[in-house]
Amino acid sequence: MRHNLLNSAFLRGVACLLFALLFGLPAAIFAQEELPRIRFVRDPDPAPTFQLKDLDGKDFKLEDYRGKVVLLNFWATWCGPCREEIPTLIELQKRYKDRLQVIGLAVDEDDEDDVRKFVTSQGINYPIAISSIPIRIAYGGVTALPTVFVINPAGAIVQKHVGLFNPWLYETEVRALLDLPIATRVETFADNGEIFLQHADRATTLPGVDLTKLSPEQKAAALHKFNAESCDCGCKFTLAQCRIYDPACQISKQRTAAIVKEVSGEKTPAKSMPAAPSSASPVSPKQ
């Protein structure tokens, strides 16, 4: 019995080491009991449907890929991090071509010829289309690039990544959704605005907002105000949504702090917002 247990532990260690080497991870990560983790939404929303023409003029729609994992990538040719992650997406499409579909939705609305030239030069092997504004709004108002939505085979969004991510993370999520072996823990979470900002009203905590000194009743009152009042930074989000989308925004940070003081009974001056712009990155080329 002891011999079998030792063999099992040894084989488990070898498997983890091979996984680390395969994905370029430090083997020391697996020398500890704590494995890396990935997170998926517990009760995911269906991905908003769309129908577009790719750069070759061929019609395609999201439902065409039901039964596959989909990585829906909002990007632009002028976006440095977008360009940097494209080789990873190309490789993933090659490796899991029968069970994965990468889709690129470019936001270069006035530069379709430039997008076509870029796609050809990079050898992109997955469909590319120009994203319309209504599609971006349907996906929560994509205003930072790159943004990747991870869609499970049932057509529901289980994760969203903003900015350049580790290739290991993308591949591990794909493998987990395809029920392939992974050397990591899978956890679930409720979407409180991380995936779709309209779910921010479910949030009980917000980035940069200290609610620890409030009673449960006061906390509920503060959260209600955060979801009822719009931020004045120009983002067109509620205060709660702005804190989730742009934690660096000083306008929503100061206003939520003022609301916390108000509901706690502390005196606070009348609402007064600085003229500083939001730090959110717009979906447009940097000048």
Q: And the tokens for 98? A: 């029968």
Where does 178-264 have alpha helices with state H?
216-228, 239-245, 250-264
Q: Looking at 16, 82, 242, 249, which residue is catalytic?
A: 82
Mapped onto helix, strand or coil, the DSSP state of residue 176 is helix
Picking from 220, 209, 230, 184, the residue whose alpha carbon sits closest to that of residue 38 is 184
Question: What pLDDT, in 10s, does the model give residues 262-277?
Answer: 999 876 555 444 544 4
| Percent of the chain scoring above 70 in pLDDT | 80
pLDDT, mean of residues 226-233: 94
Question: What pLDDT, in 10s, does the model give residues 204-214?
Answer: 999 999 999 99
Residue 39: CB partners within 8 Å, gap ≥ 6?
159, 186, 187, 188, 189
pLDDT at residue 283, rounded to an integer: 58
pLDDT, mean of residues 129-133: 92
Mapped onto helix, strand or coil, the DSSP state of residue 133 is helix
pLDDT, mean of residues 125-140: 92
**Per-range mean pLDDT, top range of 90-104, 219-233, 264-278:** 90-104
Bridge partners of 147, per DSSP, are: 74, 162
Question: Worst-scoring range by mean pLDDT, 2-6, 114-118, 175-179?
Answer: 2-6
Give the confidence band of 12 by pLDDT, cuts at 50, 70, 90: very low
Question: Worst-scoring range by mean pLDDT, 28-37, 57-66, 100-109?
Answer: 28-37
pTM for the complete prediction? 0.74
Q: Mean pLDDT of all residues in the chain? A: 84
pLDDT at residue 24, rounded to an integer: 52
The domain 41-189: what is its CATH number?
Answer: 3.40.30.10
Q: Looking at 16, 79, 235, 249, which residue is catalytic?
A: 79
pLDDT at 84 over 70: yes
Question: Worst-scoring range by mean pLDDT, 50-64, 160-174, 177-191, 267-281?
Answer: 267-281
pLDDT at 26 over 50: no
pLDDT at 93 over 60: yes
Question: What pLDDT, in 10s, does the model give residues 135-174?
Answer: 998 998 787 899 999 999 999 999 999 988 889 999 999 9
Amino acid identity at 33: E
Amino acid identity at 3: H
pLDDT at 79 over 60: yes
pLDDT at residue 65, rounded to an integer: 97
Give the confidence band of 285 by pLDDT, cuts at 50, 70, 90: very low
Q: And the tokens for 121? A: 């030069």
pLDDT at 11 over 70: no
Give the confidence band of 14 by pLDDT, cuts at 50, 70, 90: very low
233 noted as active-site residue: no
Q: Where are the domains of the chain?
A: 41-189, 197-264
pLDDT at 229 over 60: yes
pLDDT, mean of residues 113-137: 94
79 noted as active-site residue: yes
